[in-house]
Amino acid sequence: MSRGKIYVTDYEYATLEPERMEVEKLGFELVPKQCRTEDDVIRECKDAVALLDQYAPITRKVMEHLPNLRAVGRYGVGVNTVDLEAATENGVCVLNVPDYCQDEVSNHTFSLLLACARKLPVLFDQVQAGEWDYKVSKPISRLRGQTLGLVGFGRIPRMVAEKAKAFSVHVIAYDPYVSRAEAELLGVQLVSLDALLETADLISIHVPLTKDTHHLISVDQLKRMKPTAILVNTSRGQLVDEKALCRALKDGRLAGAGLDVTECEPLEAGSELRGIPNVIITPHAAWYSEEAERELKTKNARNTAEVAAGFDNPAIVNHAVRGKVCLQIRS
C-alpha cells in the first residue's frame, strides 16, 4: 500500500524514471503534472504529501490548500519559487540540491567571461558575414593581470576563482556571510560590493535571489563599474536590472555582458538585450550536463521522499521548520 503521493508539479525532462525509482523505494507513488500557476498546483496536487518543483509557484495559498503537504523539493540550488516563511509556519520542509552542477556552472561562467573578453561573437558574426578582419574586435586587453570580482563566494564562485588562477587573474570577492580569513585561505581578497564594482575588470554574480538581492545590480551599481568592465550572470536573472544594463551597454558605459539567465525566461522576442553586439545570452544552460541532470533528479527525489517519510535531511533549507515537525535521524 502506498504511503502517499509525491507530485512533480512541472518539469522539462524527457523522463522521470530516476525520480520514480527513488520515490518508490520509500513506498510513495510519483504523480507527474504540468502546473503553471498556484491554482493549478492546488487543483492538481491536492492530496500531495510532497512536491518536486521546477518552476511552479509554491505560495502560502498553495500550502494552506494542501493539508497533507510535508515537503517541497526544488529542482536546483535556488528556492525562490517557494515561500520559505509560509513553509516554515505550515510545517513544510523545503529542500534544494546544493551540491550539483558546480563544475558545469563554473565552467560556463568562465566560458562567458572568456568569450566576452575575446569578443568572440563579434568576430564570429563578421566571418559569417563573409568578412575577415580582426580589427572589428578592437580593443581587446590581455587577460593576465586583470581583476575578477565575484559577487558571492559560495561553492560555485570558489571553483570559478580556482579556474581563474590558471589565467593569472587576480580574484576579489564580496560576500557578507564569508569571513576574511576563510577567503584568504583560498587566495581571494574580500572587499565591499562598491569596492568590487569599482575595481574589477570582470564581474561575475553568484548570489541567491531574495527580497534583498532583487536588482542587486542596477543603475547606481552599473555607474560604479569601469566602462571597460564585463558583467556575467549565471545565477538568477532578477539580480540584474535589465533596463539599466541595456542603457549602460548602449551608452558605452560597460564593455560587455554574458548572461545565462534573464529577468523573464524565455527571453521575450522584443527584449532590448537582443541585437546588442557585445552581449552573449545562453538559455539558462549553465547547469546542464547529462551527469548533472541525473544527479539533480535523483537527489531531489531521494531527499524529498526521505523527509516525507519522516526523516531529517541536510538539504532542508528552512532550518527553523525543525522546531515544528518531528523528524527522525535515519540510521
Q: Are 246 and 268 in contact (CB under 8 A)?
A: no
- Residue (of 104, 99, 63) closest to 81 by Cα position: 63
Report the distance separating Cα 2 and Cα 129, nearest Å: 61
The whole-angstrom separation of Cα 140 and Cα 32 is 50
* Pure H helices in 226-289: 242-250
Q: Give yes or no for a contact between 73 and 19, defined as CB atoms under 8 angstroms apart.
A: no
Residues 6+ apart with CB under 8 A from 203: 148, 149, 151, 196, 197, 225, 229, 230, 231, 232
Is 265 tagged catalytic? yes
Q: What are residue 146's phi and psi, to 5 degrees?
A: -75, 165
- Among residues 60, 215, 284, 322, which one is catalytic? 284
As a whole number of angstroms, the distance between CA 39 and CA 33 comes to 13
Active-site choice (70, 108, 236, 302)? 236
- Residue count (the chain): 331
236 carries an active-site annotation: yes
- The DSSP letter of residue 330 is P
**291 part of the active site:** no
> Of 64, 67, 71, 73, whose CA–CA distance to 10 is shortest?
73
Q: Given 265, 268, 291, 330, which residue is catalytic?
A: 265
DSSP 115-145: HHHTTHHHHHHHHHTT---GGGG-----STT
- Catalytic amino acids? 236, 265, 284
